A and B are shown apart, each in its own frame.
Chain A
Amino acid sequence: MKNIVEIKNLSYKYPNEDDFALKDINITLSDKDYIVILGPNGGGKTTLLKLILGILKPTEGSVNIKGKLPEESYSSIGYVPQQINVKREFPITVRKVISLGLKGDVSKHRLEEKLESIVNELKLNDLLDKRVSELSGGQLQRVYLARAIISDPEILILDEPTSNIDPYGTFCFFSYLEKLNERMTIITVSHNLNIVTSGAKSVACVNKILLFNDKPVITKEMLGLMYGLHDAHSCHFGHYLEEEIEHIQHSMGGQSGNI
Chain B
Amino acid sequence: MEIFSYQFMLNALIGIFISSVLCGIVGSLIVVNRIVSLAGSIAHAAYGGVGIAFYFGLPVQLITMLFSSISGLIIAKISENSSHRSDSYIGILWASGMALGIILIDLTPGYNADIMTYLFGNILTITSEDLIISFLILLITLFVIIIFYNRILILSFDKEYAMVMGYNVRLLNYVIYVLISVSIVILIRMTGIIMIMAMLTIPQNIAIKRSKSLFSMMVISSILVIFFSLLGFFFAYKFDLSTGATIIIFSALIYLLDSVYLYAKKR
Interface residues, chain A, CB within 8 Å of chain B?
15-16, 53-55, 71, 74-75, 77, 79, 81, 85-87, 89-93, 96-97, 100, 103, 129, 131, 147
B158 beta carbon closer than 8 Å to chain A: yes
Count: A-B pairs, CB below 8 Å: 62
Known pairs A54-B163, A74-B166; A87 contacts B157 (CB<8 A):
yes
A-B residue pairs, 4 tightest by C-beta: A74-B166, A91-B211, A91-B217, A79-B164
B78 beta carbon closer than 8 Å to chain A: no
Known pairs A16-B83, A91-B32; A74 contacts B157 (CB<8 A):
no
Determine how close the nearest CB of chain B comes to the CB of A81; give it in whole angstroms. Answer: 6
B: contact size bracket: 20 to 34
Our pick among B158, B163, B208 for the contact of A53 (Cβ within 8 Å) is B163
Is there an interface contact between B153 and A92, defined as CB atoms closer than 8 Å?
yes
0 or 1 for each of B201-229: is its CB under 8 Å from A? (1 = yes)? 00000001001111011000000000000
What are 25 pairs between A and B in contact, CB < 8 Å?
A: A15-B81, A16-B83, A54-B164, A55-B163, A55-B164, A71-B166, A74-B166, A77-B164, A79-B160, A79-B164, A81-B160, A81-B161, A89-B208, A90-B156, A90-B214, A91-B32, A91-B208, A91-B214, A91-B217, A92-B153, A93-B213, A96-B153, A96-B213, A100-B157, A100-B161
**What residue of chain B has the Cβ atom nearest to residue A81's Cβ?**
B160
Contacts of B157 in A (CB 8 A): 87, 90, 92, 97, 100
Known pairs A16-B83, A92-B214; A79 contacts B208 (CB<8 A):
no
B77 beta carbon closer than 8 Å to chain A: no
| Chain B binding surface, main DSSP class | helix
Is there an interface contact between A74 and B165, defined as CB atoms closer than 8 Å?
yes
B37 beta carbon closer than 8 Å to chain A: no
B150 beta carbon closer than 8 Å to chain A: yes
Q: How long is the Cα–Cα vector from A96 to B161 in the complex, in angstroms?
A: 14
**What residue of chain B has the Cβ atom nearest to residue A89's Cβ?**
B208
Which of B150, B164, B212, B214: most chain A Cβ within 10 A? B164
Tell me the residues in window 243-265 of chain B with beta carbons closer than 8 Å to chain A beta carbons. Answer: none
**What residue of chain B has the Cβ atom nearest to residue A132's Cβ?**
B157
Determine how close the nearest CB of chain B comes to the CB of A159; give it in whole angstroms. Answer: 9
Q: How long is the Cα–Cα vector from A71 to B164 in the complex, in angstroms?
A: 8
Determine how close the nearest CB of chain A comes to the CB of B94; give it in whole angstroms. Answer: 23
Our pick among B153, B154, B161 for the contact of A79 (Cβ within 8 Å) is B161
